[in-house]
Structures are given as C-alpha cells and as structure tokens.
Structure 1
Amino acid sequence: MKLLTVSAAAIVAASTAFAGGIETAPAPIEPLAPLPPVSTDWTGAYAGTSLGYGSSDIGTVADPNGAIAGVFAGYNVDFGNTVVGAELDLNAADFDDEPTAFIDRVHRLKVKAGYGTGAALFYGTVGAAYASGEVGGASVSDNGYLYGVGVDYAVSDRFHYGLEVLRHEFDDFDNSGIDVDATTVQARFGYRF
C-alpha cells in the first residue's frame, strides 16, 4: 500500500513537471489605434510666445546684440495649400553694446503668405517695425520696415511651433542721419483657437 501511494505521488509530480514544459501559443497582440491626423487647415486666430536672438548695426556707432522675447497674435486664412494672414507681435529686447547703445523694444505688424504641406506651413512675411532704445545717452525710437521667412509645424489641431528669421531696416533712425538694421531669429510656440 505504501508503495502504491509513493508511486501515485511520483506520477502526479512527474506529470506536473512535464506540464510546465508544454508550449502554448501567445495571446494575439492587438494593433495600436492610429493617431488622429493633424489638421492642416490653418484658418483661424492664434496666439503665442517667442524667444530668440538678434543682432543690429547702428551705423558706425555700435553693434548691439542679445536676446529678444515676446508675444504674438494673428489670423490666417487657408485657401487649400495657400495660406495668407496678418500678425502683430510685441517684443522686449536686450540688444546691448554698452555704454554706447542698446535696443530695448521691437514691435512688428506683418502680413504673411505661405504654402501649407501636411502639418508644415512655410511662409514669407513683410511689414512695419518699431524699435526703441538709447544711443549715446539719448532715448531714440523710430518706425521702419521688415521682411523675412518662417515655418510653423502643427503638432496637434491646436498647438504649433516654428522658427522665424526677420530683417529690419530703419532709415535715418529718429532723424539722426544714422541708418539702423537688425536681424532676429526666434523660436515660436503658438496655440490656434
């Protein structure tokens, strides 16, 4: 009887050990749902912030350069692949060439026209610019014009980021007889309403 019990226990143990070696088919993997497509319709209002670097040339007087940061708001109309719009941006600048000169504000009103392809919008822009600062201890400000290029990339239906390069020209700045120019490069982060 004792031999029968030990034999039965051995058979159960052996069958359990062999059962662990049986291979089973893995559960089927469910495919991930595709991400929703990013909207390529650029029509509507948007606003955001920007941060970058600028360098300027104040005739033969000074060459101030430094950081520039601001806010922007605009409106685009999408005509298929062609996009046109207008934008206002206000910027604080720290273009410094102490003790000779500095530029502390650069504001712009721009019109834009571009080509949308997928989630990217490539555009050119022209417009009016305003700058203020100090030269030789005197406060100065004037209006000028700008032109440049940029690209925005939609990461969702609402958010986009981009890069913009602008050239600013101010002839006879504040009736000083000195021409001023500046180039800015700014990263942009925006929200479409």
Structure 2
Amino acid sequence: MSFIKTLILTAGIALPTAATADWNGWYAGLSTGELSNGEFGLEGFSDSDIDDASTFGGFFGRNSQNGPWVFGFEVELLSADDTPVDSDRDENLASPIIDLKSRIGYAAGSIMAYGVFGSSIMSVEGPITDVAGAGFALGAGLEYQVADQFMIGVEYLTRQTTGEAEVDLGFITTDRDVDIDADTVSLRAAFKF
C-alpha cells in the first residue's frame, strides 16, 4: 500500500462524521411570520387582493425517523385576524387559518430539509358574505435542532382553497363559488417531548 493511500485512509478514519440528530417524537411550538399574495375571488365579482399581514400561530405534530428520512404530520393554527380584503364590500380574512400537514424530510446532522403537503381552511367575513374555503397546501421548510429537545426553523406554505358562499345582495340571496388563496413565510420554534 502506498504512502498516499495510507494517508488518505487514515485521514478518512480520523475525520468525525456528522451523526444524524434524533427527530423522532412529538413536538409543539410557536410561529410568527408574514402572509402575502392573498387573493379572494367571489363569483360574479372581480377578484380582490388580501392585504399583507403579520401572522402568529401555534402548532403540534409528530415525526418518525427511518435513517436520514423523517416522516410526520402537523396541525397549525395561524392568526391573521381582521386582515382587510381590498374590495368595496368591507371584508376581512378571518382567523384562524387551519393547516393540516404531512411532512417528508431529509436530515443531515442537526439540519432537516422537508417538503409539506396537506390541506388548509381559510375564511373571509363581510357584510354580504361569510365563507370558509377548504383546499390544498404545499410548501417547504428547513429546521435546525439546536439541542436534543429544541428546534428552530423557517417554513414557506402556499394555500389554494375553494368554497361556496350564500351572498346577500339586498334584494336576493344567492349561492356563489369562492376562491381564497394566500402564502405565508414563518419563523418557527418548537420543543420536542
């Protein structure tokens, strides 16, 4: 065996490898962030933008780890209460926004990158309509395990929901289709137990 091969093998053995952190178990935490790209569509009316707003929320979930792969589910409630919809109908995005998520992640040491897919419920309240929309949510996130039981991270989520509203037009009440869409970017902190 040559000197170079011996040196390379010895260096490889001596270098520490990053052990994958333990992501298994239940967790709960808080999030804060920004809601943007919101849009409210009511059949028969022009689409309206939902104002950008700060969000605050809480979440809980469970992860199961198989090697570097992490699978989990999560429930999150976000508040963006009374966020105005830019329309002449005096409407607001109501709280809470409810997200039911499945997560698939890949962990490398104390860092995990993950994708999110699931469902969301959002609602808009106003003088002529109160409506909830249900639909899908897609996103991605990055988490860092600071200590065995404490994690911080960032997550992006886009939501597209649909529903049906009973609209009071003053002289008649009618059913109309609605679309409620919004994106969020959230900073998160969680305790694992």
TM score, norm. by length of structure 1: 0.74
**Who is 1:114 aligned against?**
105
Q: Which whole-Å deviations, capped at 9, do the CAs of 1:64-122 have from their partners, x for residues lacking one? A: 12121110000001111100000011111133236632212201111000100111110
Q: 1:185 aligns to what SS in structure 2?
A: strand
**Who is 2:80 aligned against?**
93
CA distance in structure 2 between the aligned counterparts of 1:38 and 1:48, rounded to whole angstroms = 25
Is residue 63 of structure 1 aligned with residue 26 of structure 2? no
Work out which of the two has the higher radius of gyration on C-alpha atoms and give 1 or 2: 1
- Equivalent positions of 1:1-193 (< 5 A) are 40-55=21-36, 56-59=38-41, 60-64=46-50, 65-94=52-81, 95-97=83-85, 100-105=90-95, 106-135=97-126, 137-172=128-163, 174=165, 176-193=176-193
Q: Which whole-Å deviations, capped at 9, do the CAs of 1:117-144 have from their partners, x for residues lacking one? A: 1111100011111112214542221211
Gaps spanning 5+ residues in structure 2: where?
A: 1-17, 166-174
Deviates more, 1:80-89 or 1:170-179: 170-179
Distance 1:150 1:173, change over 3 A: farther
CA distance in structure 2 between the aligned counterparts of 1:44 and 1:167, rounded to whole angstroms = 26
Contact 1:164-1:186 at 8 Å conserved across structures: yes
Number of matched pairs: 157
Aligned residue identity for 2:123: S
Q: Percent identity?
A: 32
Q: 1:155 aligns to what SS in structure 2?
A: strand
Q: 2:147 aligns to what SS in structure 1?
A: coil
Contact 2:33-2:184 at 8 Å conserved across structures: yes
Gaps spanning 5+ residues in structure 1: where?
A: 1-36
Q: 2:148 aligns to what SS in structure 1?
A: coil
Contact 1:62-1:101 at 8 Å conserved across structures: no
Query: 1:177 Cα deviation (Å)?
Result: 2.2
Contact 1:39-1:156 at 8 Å conserved across structures: no
Query: Is the strand fraction higher in 1 or 2?
Result: 2
Contact 1:39-1:157 at 8 Å conserved across structures: no
Alignment RMSD (CA, Å): 2.0
TM score, norm. by length of structure 2: 0.74
Q: 2:48 aligns to what SS in structure 1?
A: coil
Q: 1:112 aligns to what SS in structure 2?
A: strand
Distance 1:79 1:38, change over 3 A: closer
